[in-house]
Amino acid sequence: MKALAIAALLAALPLAAHAADKTEAETALAAAVKAEDAAGQVGNRWVPAEAALKAAKAALAAGAWDKAVAEAAVAQAMANRAVEQSHEQETAWRDAVVR
Amino acid sequence: MRKFRGAAALILVAGLLAGAAPAPAASLASAAADQKAFQDNFRSRFPAVPFADFANGPYSVNAPMRKQWEEIMQFPPYDFALDEGKTEFAKPFANGKTYADCFPNGGIGIRQDFPYFDGKTGEVVTLDLAINRCRQANGEKPLKYQTGMMASLTAYMAETSRGKPFDIKIPDDPRALAAYEAGKKYFYTRRGQLNFACASCHVGAAGQRMRGDILAPALGILAAFPIYRSDWGSMGTIDRRFTSCSAQMRSTPLPPQDPAYRNLEYFLSYMSNGVPISGPGTRP
């Protein structure tokens, strides 16, 4: 969780220096949507990833570019982690089976 | 010889692709062995709990909670649902048929046989799904799955089956075995932001306290459904419970009766064979 927060922070950092524009926000959102779709493909959507994605979309619609970029970064980081988790679990689940 | 070497190489590659230790192939025998290991695990961890008592969820493993339950049961909060379900069950559809026409034995005393694997459609059929299919076959709209009339109908049908042990069959059909395996995998797979599997709480931590709750053991975990929960303030079906546990894992819940949830129910019910139906239930 901490790692995610830091990743999101890092992703958002450069934008504090120069305010994001619409194109950057749209690009960030598209990347987040793509990542979340990949999480959906492996059946592992996370509730907070979807919430961040929703917030990013709302920010984009409201013209809040910086916020859109930041929320999209959170969503993307979480979605990537979800895909990794599913990947690990593809075999690791067997270790948990009661035997 | 060359052919043989080629085949050996292929097997090796397949083994590497599948991961270091190739998983043992699933079979009816391995499913039966899973069931025995699963039941033995709970028996040995809770030696004081009679096997049939695993039908009572958290009450089976926590004495103070059981006392509270006995008090609640003087006026069971699911009584209204039972009455409503019984009336609805007997009420003819617009075409004159009834629910009884859709089920073996007129729908009475059959809860323990659900879910079952339907060889015709190649899928797992839960009681809730069968109820909606019955309605649709008779020109009625399907019911919502999580609460309301669906909970009332399943409450009534469970009540007519009380004491009958779960009797889930895996027919000798590779698709049935695949459905079982998918349910098993779902149960043990970590997912969601908190990195939990169903098993993390209901196997590993069964009987322990989590916030105000005692975690129900996975053995017999569906025997009491549907349930009335005070924190819901209403009745809830298996779909409602799966949905809320998924959300607790910060994992986006699947739609009710999603094939993955049905396979999960198939696995959990098969693990619980022999535990008697106790539903409807009530939880604080």
Give percent of chain B above pLDDT 70.
92
Known catalytic residue at B134: no
SS3 category, A46: strand
The count of domains in chain B is 1
Nearest-Cα distance to chain B for A91, in Å, is 7
Question: Does B5 have pLDDT greater than 50?
Answer: no
Query: What tokens were used for B126?
Result: 């839960």
Contact B188 A44 (CB under 8 A): no
How many structural domains does chain A have? 1
Q: What angle do CA A45, A47, A53 make, to 5 degrees?
A: 85
Question: For B154-177, what is the mean pLDDT?
Answer: 98
Given a cut of 70, the residues of chain A with pLDDT beneath it are: 1-17
pTM: 0.90
Q: Is A49 a member of any domain?
A: yes
Position A39 in a domain: yes
Q: d(Cα B10, Cα B15) in Å, to the nearest integer?
A: 8
DSSP B154-223: HHHHHHTTTTPBP-----S-HHHHHHHHHHHHHHH--BTTTTB-HHIIIIITTTSEETTEEPPPSTTTTT
The answer to the question of residue A76 being in a domain is yes
Cβ–Cβ gap A93/B193 under 8 Å: no
Confidence of residue B169 (pLDDT cuts 50, 70, 90): very high
Residue A98 lies in a domain: no
Domain that holds residue B212: 1-19+26-284
**Structure confidence at residue B113 (pLDDT):** 98
Which band of pLDDT confidence, cut at 50, 70 and 90, is reported for residue B74? confident
Q: What CATH number is given to the structural domain containing B164? A: 1.10.760.10
Q: What is the DSSP letter of B274?
A: T
Residue of B46, B190, B198, B261 best to disrupt the A interface, most CBs of A under 10 A: B190
Is A3's Cβ below 8 Å from some Cβ in B?
Answer: no
> How far apart are alpha carbons B274 and B168 in whole angstroms?
9
Q: Which has the closest alpha carbon to B54: B263, B260, B281?
A: B281
B193 → chain A, closest CA residue: A46
Higher-pLDDT residue of B93, B4: B93
> Who has greater pLDDT, B12 or A48?
A48
Beta-carbon separation of A85 and B195 below 8 A:
yes
Q: Are B60 and B46 in contact (CB under 8 A)?
A: yes
pLDDT at B94 over 90: yes
Q: Give domain status of residue A78, yes or no.
A: yes
**Residue B12 pLDDT > 60:** no
Nearest CA in chain B to A75: B193
Mutate to test the interface with B, among A41, A47, A78 (most CBs of B within 10 A): A47
Assess whether pLDDT exceeds 90 at residue B11.
Answer: no
Tell me the average pLDDT across B229-243: 97
Chain B within 8 Å of A57 (Cβ-Cβ)? no
Report how far residue B204's alpha carbon sits from residue A51's, in angstroms, rounded to the nearest whole number: 30
* pLDDT score of B26: 87
Q: What is the average pLDDT across B234-247?
A: 98
B50 vs B23, residue with greater confidence: B50
In chain B, residues with a C-beta closer than 8 Å to the C-beta of A45 are 251-252
CB contact under 8 A, B192 and A47: yes
Nearest CB to B37 within list A1, A91, A98: A98
Q: What is the mean pLDDT of residues B170-192?
A: 98
Residue A77: per-residue pLDDT: 98
Q: Give the lowest-confidence range in B15-24, B138-147, B202-211.
A: B15-24
Examine the pLDDT at B201 and tell me if it is beyond 80: yes
Residue A68 maps to a domain: yes
Model ipTM? 0.85
Q: Write down the pLDDT at residue A31.
A: 98
DSSP for B36-93 reads HHHHHHHHHHSTTS-GGGGGGGGGGG-HHHHHHHHHHTTS-TTHHHHHHHHHHHHSPP
